[in-house]
């Protein structure tokens, strides 16, 4: 096959552009006649230079492939075509990739600083070639380690975005640049700082509970938790209603901690615990000299303290009627005026209020403002009483046992069935708070050598409404245990032909204890 040299020279720029490097035509001895780069420009300095791979192809008449003589990592091939040899390589693409790789490597400290975490360069296997932290410092311990996310990005040649495995809420990004390398970054340090700030805020503002901390698997409580989680994403005021002890403040804290305001203050105000003479200054603050004893420089009120966050008004139904109008103004105007002052201060605060009373009834009795009710009651969350959550009682008991095991230095494993049945049948007017107090009382009554809560450990008010239960279950429990023990010993003695040693082993007691119990129960063998 005879191919004109002019034809081969004509296709060289196209081949160079496609291959991303040089394209050349040589004679059979491998002497370069013409060479073009990927931009279509002739590389004149290579004219007359021998290309050993092309010479091999010309002499053998076979296609040759291998690495370029110009850039060692570049690939090349040579094709003999009659009196000439056509050869190409990807030297320029490889060179560009190397330069890009070095450029990205140089940029890693800036990427890490902007992203607020680690920035990495990795190869086709996902192995870290370079790693820099958020301060721009090299992470030598990480170099050489393989990232599964980076490996997947290289295999799929697609950007992989995923959650961090080490820092909750952080995100990692892995981007393939070529088939040989890619880079990635995460925002772990930024998220850690946010977590730390959140913890500091919580330390002083007391919003420590999340929806996961609210114990319960009943449909009633799951429904309220679901609604609460949804409401948390909004900005509207929330009115939490429910009987005393149902956990209204837990829900208020959980709503705050699930909202976008979670990194801002959570300020709780118990409207019944603060004297009426002080609550106005406590809520709205005061200026210097506003009244006798006013602090020099004045004082921020709770609304200003909660700026950007949440204020929780517990037992809002107990607020004085006159003060309710001032609260209404704050909610409407989103600004406060300190006592003794005239300047208005804008506040960005979400209000969550709670009450154990029926505010509609309170309105009818003239104790609560109707306009304030509608301002607070944009979203209502009603917490079910414990008597409607019977399924949750065993879970709560277990939770409180674990809690007080630590604080009381006990090792109580469980509650026996009889005691549990009594607690399940009780109405719990004080709800979860009363149940918690009950478990704490019972655990204080459990002896050193006992490992479970039994009926005799329960407070007597659980039986007061049922005299028969008190008589049959509470006062005769020891006798019931005596009867059961005596019956077990008698059966074992019959089964093992009165062998005291064997009976003691089976019953898990010493022979001395067996003799003592046989004497106590008047078992004569």
Residue 57: is its pLDDT beyond 80?
Answer: yes
Task: Please give the domain boundaries of the chain with CATH numbers for all domains.
Answer: 5-89 (3.30.450.20), 95-190 (3.30.450.20), 206-384 (3.40.50.300), 387-475 (1.10.8.60), 479-520 (1.10.10)
Instruction: Name which of 3-17, 40-54, 234-248, 271-285 the model is least confident about.
Output: 271-285
For residues 510 and 384, the model is more confident at 384
Average pLDDT, stretch 485-498? 78
Instruction: Name which of 76-90, 197-211, 218-232 the model is least confident about.
Output: 197-211
Sign of dihedral through CA atoms 489, 493, 498, 501?
negative
Confidence at residue 389, expressed as pLDDT on a 0 to 100 scale: 92
Confidence at residue 238, expressed as pLDDT on a 0 to 100 scale: 95
Average pLDDT, stretch 337-361? 92
Residue 205: is its pLDDT beyond 70?
Answer: no
Sign of dihedral through CA atoms 437, 439, 445, 448?
negative
Do 308 and 255 touch, CB atoms closer than 8 A? Answer: no
Average pLDDT, stretch 74-94? 91
Percent of the chain scoring above 70 in pLDDT: 90
121-158: pLDDT as tens digits: 999 999 999 999 888 888 888 889 888 889 999 999 99
**Ranked by mean pLDDT, which of 171-185, 470-484, 486-500 comes out on top?**
171-185
Confidence at residue 207, expressed as pLDDT on a 0 to 100 scale: 75
Dihedrals φ, ψ of 247, to 5°? 100, 35
Do 412 and 453 touch, CB atoms closer than 8 A? Answer: yes
Confidence at residue 203, expressed as pLDDT on a 0 to 100 scale: 44
Confidence at residue 2, expressed as pLDDT on a 0 to 100 scale: 64
Q: Quick one: which of 362, 344, 365, 351 has its CA closest to 311?
A: 351
Confidence at residue 477, expressed as pLDDT on a 0 to 100 scale: 58
Percent of the chain scoring above 90 in pLDDT: 50
What is the length of the chain? 525
**Ranked by mean pLDDT, which of 59-73, 239-253, 465-479 comes out on top?**
239-253
Q: What is the Cα–Cα distance from 91 to 70, expressed in whole angstroms?
A: 7
What the block records as the tokens of 31 is 């002497």
Do 330 and 347 touch, CB atoms closer than 8 A? Answer: yes
**Could you tell me where the DSSP H helices lie in 342-407?**
359-364, 370-376, 393-407
The pLDDT-based confidence of 475 (bands split at 50, 70, 90) is very low
For residues 482 and 425, the model is more confident at 425
Tell me the Cα Rg of the chain: 40
The pLDDT-based confidence of 463 (bands split at 50, 70, 90) is confident
Dihedrals φ, ψ of 63, to 5°? -65, 135
Chain-wide mean pLDDT for the chain? Answer: 86
The pLDDT-based confidence of 202 (bands split at 50, 70, 90) is very low
Average pLDDT, stretch 250-270? 91
For residues 373 and 462, the model is more confident at 373
């Amino acid at each position: 096959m005879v191919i004109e040299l002019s034809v081969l020279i004509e296709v060289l720029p196209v081949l160079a552009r496609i291959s991303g490097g040089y394209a050349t035509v040589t004679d059979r001895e491998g002497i370069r006649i013409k060479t073009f780069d990927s931009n279509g420009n002739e590389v004149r300095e290579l004219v007359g230079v021998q290309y050993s791979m092309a010479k091999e192809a010309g002499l053998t008449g076979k296609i040759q492939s291998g690495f370029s003589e110009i850039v060692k990592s570049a690939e090349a091939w040579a094709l003999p075509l009659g009196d000439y040899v056509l050869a190409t390589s990807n030297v320029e693409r490889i060179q560009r990739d190397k330069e890009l790789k070095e450029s990205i490597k140089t940029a890693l400290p800036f990427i890490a600083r902007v992203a607020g975490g680690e920035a990495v360069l990795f190869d086709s296997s996902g192995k870290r070639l370079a790693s820099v932290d958020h301060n721009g410092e090299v992470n030598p311990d990480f170099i050489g380690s393989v990232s599964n996310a980076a490996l997947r990005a290289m295999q799929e040649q697609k950007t992989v975005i995923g959650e961090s495995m080490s820092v909750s809420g952080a995100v990692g990004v892995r981007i393939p640049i070529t088939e040989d390398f890619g880079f990635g970054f995460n925002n772990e340090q930024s998220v850690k700082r946010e977590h730390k700030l959140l913890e500091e805020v919580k330390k002083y503002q007391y919003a420590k509970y999340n929806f996961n901390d609210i114990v319960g698997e009943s449909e009633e409580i799951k429904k309220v938790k679901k609604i609460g989680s949804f409401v948390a994403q909004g900005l509207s005021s929330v009115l939490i209603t429910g009987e005393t002890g149902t956990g209204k403040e837990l829900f208020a804290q959980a709503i705050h901690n699930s909202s976008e305001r979670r990194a801002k203050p959570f300020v709780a105000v118990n409207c019944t615990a603060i004297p009426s003479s002080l609550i106005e200054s406590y809520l709205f603050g005061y200026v210097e000299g506003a009244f006798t004893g006013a602090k020099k420089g004045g004082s921020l009120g709770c609304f200003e303290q909660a700026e950007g966050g949440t204020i929780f008004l517990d037992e809002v139904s107990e607020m004085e009627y006159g003060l309710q109008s001032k609260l209404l103004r704050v909610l409407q105007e989103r600004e406060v005026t300190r006592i003794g002052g005239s300047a208005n201060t804008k506040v960005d605060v979400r209000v969550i209020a709670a009450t154990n009373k029926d505010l509609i009834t309170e309105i009818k009795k003239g104790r609560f403002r109707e306009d304030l009710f509608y301002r607070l009651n944009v979203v209502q969350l009603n917490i079910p009483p414990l008597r409607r959550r019977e399924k949750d009682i065993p879970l709560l008991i277990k939770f409180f046992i674990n809690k007080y095991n630590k604080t009381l230095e006990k090792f109580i494993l469980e509650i026996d069935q009889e005691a549990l049945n009594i607690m399940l049948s009780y109405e719990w007017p004080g709800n979860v708070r009363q149940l918690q107090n009950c478990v704490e009382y019972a655990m204080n009554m459990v002896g050193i050598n006992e490992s479970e809560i039994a009926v005799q450990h329960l407070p007597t008010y659980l039986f007061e409404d049922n005299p028969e239960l008190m008589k049959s279950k509470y006062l005769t429990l020891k006798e019931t245990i005596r009867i059961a023990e005596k019956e077990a010993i008698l059966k074992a003695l019959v089964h093992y032909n009165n062998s005291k040693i064997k009976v003691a082993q089976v019953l898990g007691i010493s022979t001395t204890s067996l003799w003592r119990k046989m004497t106590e129960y008047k078992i004569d063998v």
